[in-house]
Amino acid sequence: MTIVLQYVDKRGLVKESFVGLVHVMETSSSALKGQGYDGANNMRGQFNGLKAKILEENESAYYVHCFAHQLQLVVVTVAKKHLGVVNFLDNISILMNMVSVSCKRTDILRENEKERVEKEIGSGILETGIGLNQELSFIRPGDTRWNSHYKRLLRLVDMFPSIMRVVEHVKEECTNPSTQNQAINMLGFLSSFEFVFYLHLMLHCHTPRRKAETPGRA
């Protein structure tokens, strides 16, 4: 749970100061009692939600849906209205399922990543140090958290050569014709201009300060 202190300064401006993060064992409205909301039912519920709990003690309190959370919802919704982006994200989801559907494929991905990192450290491409070159995974995004989609795309760039090897393994070794054909189609997608274009577009739109690398250079 994020703890934020909200107050009004001498000029009448509302200020918010981040205090810290607290681990919570329960997510009921009573356990989360405090001034701050997203759109979940345990937050905005009319009778048992956090909003109701706050209003019992302070009738002047306003329910304000967290702006950051609203922005996340808007970005995800808008992105899914563009057919090209929808097709891109759907293919990335198929890729994730293909790569992580079994322990065997996950192990192949992990071993290829280990070999790649060791090789690039040895050749001086990667730097070494505390916190660097930690084991990565192809994360699954949350539907209402655009930042999780962004992180998944960053992982895709970083792990691209290893992910490609897993897809190639599925193409060559899988005995299921349907899955094998899916792997062939995925290799075509990952080699297409459309894939590279939307990957760079999505990374650039999230933050212009991040220079998206070309897949395969990671």
Number of domains in the chain: 2
- Is residue 218 included in any domain, yes or no? no
Q: Give yes or no: residues 52 and 143 share one domain.
A: no
N- to C-terminal Cα distance for the chain? Answer: 35
Q: Give yes or no: residues 8 and 96 share one domain.
A: no
48 within 8 A of 55, measured Cβ to Cβ: no
Domain boundary among 14, 45, 65: 65
Q: Give yes or no: residues 102 and 160 share one domain.
A: yes
Domain boundary among 65, 87, 119: 65
pLDDT digits (tens, 9 = 90+) for 83-110: 888 899 889 989 988 888 788 888 888 8
Domain boundary among 49, 65, 81: 65
Q: Give yes or no: residues 194 and 99 share one domain.
A: yes
Structure-block tokens of residue 6 = 């909200």
* Coil, strand or helix at 6: strand
* Coil, strand or helix at 15: strand
Please calculate the CA angle 98-121-198 and round it to the nearest 5 degrees.
Answer: 40
- Is residue 193 included in any domain, yes or no? yes
- Is residue 212 included in any domain, yes or no? no
The pLDDT value given to residue 36: 58
Q: Give yes or no: residues 54 and 134 share one domain.
A: no
Q: Give yes or no: residues 116 and 173 share one domain.
A: yes
Q: Residue 210 — very low, low, confident or very high, per pLDDT cuts 50/70/90?
A: very low
- Is residue 213 included in any domain, yes or no? no
| Residue whose token pair is 């070794």 | 173
133 within 8 A of 126, measured Cβ to Cβ: yes
Q: Is the pLDDT of residue 62 over 60?
A: yes
Q: Give yes or no: residues 90 and 166 share one domain.
A: yes
Q: Which residue has the higher pLDDT, 150 or 33?
A: 150
pLDDT digits (tens, 9 = 90+) for 166-191: 999 999 988 899 999 999 999 999 99
- Is residue 119 included in any domain, yes or no? yes
The pLDDT of 8-33, averaged and rounded, is: 81
Please calculate the CA angle 97-99-102 and round it to the nearest 5 degrees.
Answer: 85
- Is residue 129 included in any domain, yes or no? yes
Q: Give yes or no: residues 52 and 80 share one domain.
A: no
pLDDT digits (tens, 9 = 90+) for 73-86: 777 777 778 888 88
Q: Give yes or no: residues 79 and 178 share one domain.
A: yes
Q: Which domain holds residue 88?
A: 72-206
Please give the mean pLDDT across all residues of the chain: 77
- Is residue 197 included in any domain, yes or no? yes
Q: Residue 16 — very low, low, confident or very high, per pLDDT cuts 50/70/90?
A: confident
Structure-block tokens of residue 60 = 């002047």
Q: Give yes or no: residues 11 and 78 share one domain.
A: no
Q: Give yes or no: residues 183 and 101 share one domain.
A: yes
Orientation angle between helical segments 83-100 and 193-206, nearest 10 degrees: 100
- Is residue 132 included in any domain, yes or no? yes
Q: Give yes or no: residues 42 and 119 share one domain.
A: no
Whether the model pTM is above 0.85: no
Distance, CA of 97 to CA of 157 (rounded, Å): 17
